[in-house]
């Protein structure tokens, strides 16, 4: 090649980062990154070019778990993170909160309140009380403020004792998907009315230790139809709920009786289930009764028109 020959790049050739941005719309970048699960891979993608960097934090922080059983180090770390980058809180859609049992200082309350205040876009929330957390013991006001100001799509409560009925009832009336396990209510001596028409409720899980929920929140539901599409109950003690939701129920899960004195399903007790598409039975190891399984399946199938 002659020494005076110059090699030049055409103006149409862009630097690699600009090529990527020009050929890959942000919507496509978001879809691709949504398929990447490994945290390290997502962090590496953020270093490639601007489109990936913009989408990566929304994926990395779309779910968050605060581990608080017996310690608050995780809450403190979250507080520092949100203090440096307050915008991250708006990325969190799925939230799991392990309540910090045993930590009652004003400083710890302030940390929890500050962290929850940053989570402005949470839609699905799980709250775990660990060793049967007492509602009034630490952060009841912080949790009520956190839950009340967010349009939740689902709420799961586990191992929480003595929740005031007036606190819980609004969520039953407005949140479409609810799950309760080992949840008790305060004495309903205040005369607060039960939830009689939870028009938004489509999915309900009533696991072990939810007798208060059934009695106080749904005691008058059979008088009105529940718009449930999915219902999970422990045993036949929830037959009134099944009857109330019968016209719209698409999925039904029933747990086996814990003792032989618990109520059983019978052919006469289940109403017609015109919308039912699937059902599930959960057998308890302490109540291995093949007759219960056979009779329950027969009863449910008989209720299909």
Pairing of strands 63-66, 230-233: unpaired
What pLDDT, on a 0 to 100 scale, did the predictor assign at position 6? 41
Q: Taking a C-beta distance cutoff of 8 angstroms, is the pair 186, 164 a contact?
A: yes
Give pLDDT, residue 212: 84
Q: How far is CA 59 from CA 79, 92, 118, 261, in A?
A: 20, 9, 17, 49
Per-position pLDDT tens, the chain of length 305? 444 444 343 444 444 444 444 456 767 766 676 666 656 566 666 656 666 666 677 777 888 888 876 566 778 888 888 888 888 888 899 999 887 655 556 777 788 888 888 898 999 999 998 876 777 665 677 788 888 888 899 999 999 888 888 888 888 888 999 999 999 888 655 555 555 567 788 999 998 888 888 877 776 544 457 789 999 988 767 788 888 888 899 999 987 665 555 555 555 567 788 899 998 887 666 655 667 777 778 878 877 76
Task: Give residues with Cβ within 8 angstroms of 52, minimum separation 6.
Answer: 29, 33, 45, 46
What predicted TM-score, i.e. pTM, was given to this entire model?
0.78
pLDDT attached to residue 44 = 64
DSSP state of 189: G
Report the pLDDT value the prediction gives residue 19, as an integer from 0 to 100.
42
Q: How far is Cα 106 from Cα 164, in angstroms, rounded to an integer?
A: 22
Cα–Cα distance for residue pair 112/100, rounded to 1 Å? 9
In the prediction, which pLDDT does 243 show? 83
Predicted confidence at residue 41, as pLDDT, reads 62
pLDDT of res. 249? 92
Cβ neighbourhood burial of 190 (10 Å; 0-12, 13-18, 19+) = exposed
pLDDT of residue 5: 43
């Amino acid at each position: 090649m002659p020494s005076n020959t110059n090699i030049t790049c055409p103006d149409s050739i862009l630097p690699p980062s600009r090529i990527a941005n020009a050929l890959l719309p942000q919507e496509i970048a978001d879809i691709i990154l949504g398929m990447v699960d490994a945290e390290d891979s997502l962090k590496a993608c953020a270093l490639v070019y601007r489109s990936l960097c913009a989408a990566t934090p929304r994926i990395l922080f779309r779910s968050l778990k605060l581990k608080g059983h017996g310690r608050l180090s995780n809450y403190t770390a979250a507080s520092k993170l949100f203090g440096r980058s307050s915008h991250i809180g708006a990325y969190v859609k799925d939230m799991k909160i392990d309540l910090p049992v045993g930590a009652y200082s004003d400083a710890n309350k302030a940390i929890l309140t500050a962290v929850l205040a940053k989570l402005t876009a949470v839609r699905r929330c799980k709250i775990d009380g660990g060793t049967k957390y007492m509602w009034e013991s630490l952060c009841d006001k912080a949790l009520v403020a956190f839950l009340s100001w967010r349009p939740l799509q689902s709420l799961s409560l586990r191992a929480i004792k003595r929740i005031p009925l007036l606190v819980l009832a609004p969520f039953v009336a407005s949140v479409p998907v609810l799950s309760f396990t080992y949840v008790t209510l305060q004495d309903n001596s205040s005369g607060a009315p039960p939830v009689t028409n939870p028009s938004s409720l489509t999915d309900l899980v009533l696991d072990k230790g939810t007798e208060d929920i059934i009695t106080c929140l749904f005691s008058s539901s059979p008088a009105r139809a529940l718009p449930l599409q999915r219902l999970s109950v422990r045993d036949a003690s929830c037959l009134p709920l099944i009857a109330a939701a019968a016209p719209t129920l698409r999925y039904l899960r029933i747990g086996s009786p814990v003792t032989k004195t618990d109520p059983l399903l019978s052919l006469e007790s289940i109403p017609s289930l015109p919308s039912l598409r699937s059902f599930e039975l959960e057998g308890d190891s302490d109540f291995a009764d093949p007759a219960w399984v056979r009779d329950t399946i027969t009863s449910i199938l008989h209720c299909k028109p």
